Structure 1
């Protein structure tokens, strides 16, 4: 749920007055052209960027007050500059690294005290569960699990990023550039995958240029953001149009629980010519750039 949500970058608002309601297991498409604040909205709703107006609630946790707690229940798939796959690593190396991070940061003390053989079996089971949910068949890859990320097709890389996010068994997952550089057939497969993840109970936020008809569509177009209900299900609260504005104060964020997931406050003011009635592409770009540098 979001109500009057707004985030500003050094040179303007990335988005403002975003309101919608989505239940558990919903497929939410953040739709619009590049530069209209879609990624900033995705990062704000997953606890990675701090908003300045309104509030949101994820799993009963209120944003922006509970950003760290939201990050623990919200996973990120691919987000360029924030949670990218390393092209030099293999699929197996990515999976092992994520499993180690999961055990280190999210595991209980009791789990850490289990016998090594038991922990290894649990890790293998969790990896297999995530790969199955993401529809990634390692045997079908050119070199199996030893395939480098640089050799993956775009859809395969998307599946891997979702599998990595699902290893934390999140209640919410965010994916950027869902339909970027995909053929029509691959785009259909990508949305089918996200529908399956949502149907299993995990709420999905997907940034895209064109949303499917059955998704709850949050549309950002230049100076406005509007909510359109999915064809099959009406949201319990209506969406509202975004109110354009600009500001000179930067977005800020808390310390991340994982590297590269949060913003640091920028000190520079916006240009004097900026007005309070402009949502700028620069505002979204600057806010996102702060996150990527953090």
Structure 2
């Protein structure tokens, strides 16, 4: 457990949706999850899973419905929410540098955390104390993510390009945990993993949520025991909970054709800070960019997969997330 004193964020949403110039990224999301829950956003690739993850962490501006993460109402308190959430394994946002080693990534994140996430008194402590604190922070995050440096080909000198996929995922999770978030959001959790690797990753995420940190994970299929919400298109509203939901948690999966929301501003993503975490700035200054959304279509029309993938890339590029 990386931080037994951590307090996760509860998540509630009603009719939550995000629409841009090319149509709906997701819509009709209803969700109830207690603090410390393991929330699985399931659905096929291109169905708006990543956009929902970014919206629920204050990185994209929703256009329909209501949502509250902890005490933070969306979209009014997006900036404050970004300060207590962290992203892992989000393509175009948290990409690791292939040429850098695992140790270099960890030390860089510890330095950024001390500089931007710590107190002024911490910056003035003797160098030996700062190094010891950085070492504890790294070790705790690695333990929570389940990444054993001794098992890597060259230990912490192993380049990211030489990591296996599940090791790269664990490293990204460890880096995100170093900011001690109250909500950890992980994208593409089960992509290209074997059954054994997938089960091990979910077990690790359960351990993180059990320590008190809420976990929001994108996947193709939710595991047992998770609060599941679906972005898959459907003919009408549907609800599903996994067989063994977390205590006090419930969820309804998304609907493709809810009532048309009232007019709103286009979806607007918000950028991250230099450490892959929050970026300071007001929430009420209007759209920060084009905010083009990608997955889904207006009025529930069928989408061509190639077109969907191209729009997803365009959206992240124009949003400044790639």
TM-score above 0.5, yes or no: yes
Residue equivalent to 1:102: 113
Residue equivalent to 1:291: 319
1:147–1:241 Cα change, 3 Å: closer
Runs of 4+, deviation exceeding 6 Å = 245-249, 259-263, 267-270
Tell me the distance in 2 between the aligned counterparts of 1:235 and 1:227: 16
- Corresponding position: 1:196 with 2:207: yes
Residue equivalent to 1:6: 17
Residue equivalent to 2:78: 67
Structure 2: state its 5+ residue gaps. Answer: 1-11, 280-286
1:197–1:277 Cα change, 3 Å: same
- Corresponding position: 1:252 with 2:268: yes
Q: Give RMSD over aligned pairs.
A: 2.9
Residue equivalent to 2:5: none
Aligned-residue offset at 1:268: 8.2
Residue equivalent to 1:266: 290
Tell me the distance in 2 between the aligned counterparts of 1:169 and 1:267: 28
Tell me the distance in 1 between the aligned counterparts of 2:85 and 2:302: 27
Tell me the distance in 2 between the aligned counterparts of 1:36 and 1:62: 24
Tell me the distance in 2 between the aligned counterparts of 1:268 and 1:154: 29
- Corresponding position: 1:232 with 2:244: yes
Q: Are 1:111 and 1:119, in contact at CA under 8 Å, matched by a contact in 2? A: yes
Aligned-residue offset at 1:39: 0.3
Residue equivalent to 2:3: none
Residue equivalent to 2:36: 25
Q: Are 1:10 and 1:287, in contact at CA under 8 Å, matched by a contact in 2? A: no
Q: Are 1:154 and 1:182, in contact at CA under 8 Å, matched by a contact in 2? A: yes
Q: Secondary structure at the match of 1:221?
A: coil
Q: Are 1:25 and 1:200, in contact at CA under 8 Å, matched by a contact in 2? A: yes
Tell me the distance in 2 between the aligned counterparts of 1:19 and 1:269: 20
Aligned-residue offset at 1:151: 0.5
| Cα shift readout 1:137-180 (whole Å, capped 9, x = no counterpart) | 11110000000011011111111111001111111011111111
| Cα shift readout 1:100-133 (whole Å, capped 9, x = no counterpart) | 1112221112212222221111111111100111
Residue equivalent to 1:116: 127
Aligned-residue offset at 1:230: 3.1
1:149–1:225 Cα change, 3 Å: farther
Q: Are 1:10 and 1:269, in contact at CA under 8 Å, matched by a contact in 2? A: yes
- Of 91, 112, 133, which residue of structure 2 is paired with 1:80? 91
Identify which range, 10-19 or 278-287, moves more after superposition.
278-287
Q: Are 2:138 and 2:178, in contact at CA under 8 Å, matched by a contact in 1? A: yes
Aligned-residue offset at 1:44: 0.7
Does 1 or 2 have the higher relative contact order (CA < 8 Å, sep 6+)?
1
Q: Secondary structure at the match of 1:17?
A: strand
Aligned-residue offset at 1:243: 4.2
1:190–1:282 Cα change, 3 Å: closer
Tell me the distance in 2 between the aligned counterparts of 1:166 and 1:81: 19
Identify which range, 249-258 or 239-248, moves more after superposition.
239-248
Tell me the distance in 1 between the aligned counterparts of 2:26 and 2:59: 15
Aligned-residue offset at 1:275: 5.1
Tell me the distance in 1 between the aligned counterparts of 2:169 and 2:209: 16
Structure 1: state its 5+ residue gaps. Answer: none
Tell me the distance in 1 between the aligned counterparts of 2:207 and 2:131: 28
Tell me the distance in 1 between the aligned counterparts of 2:36 and 2:61: 24
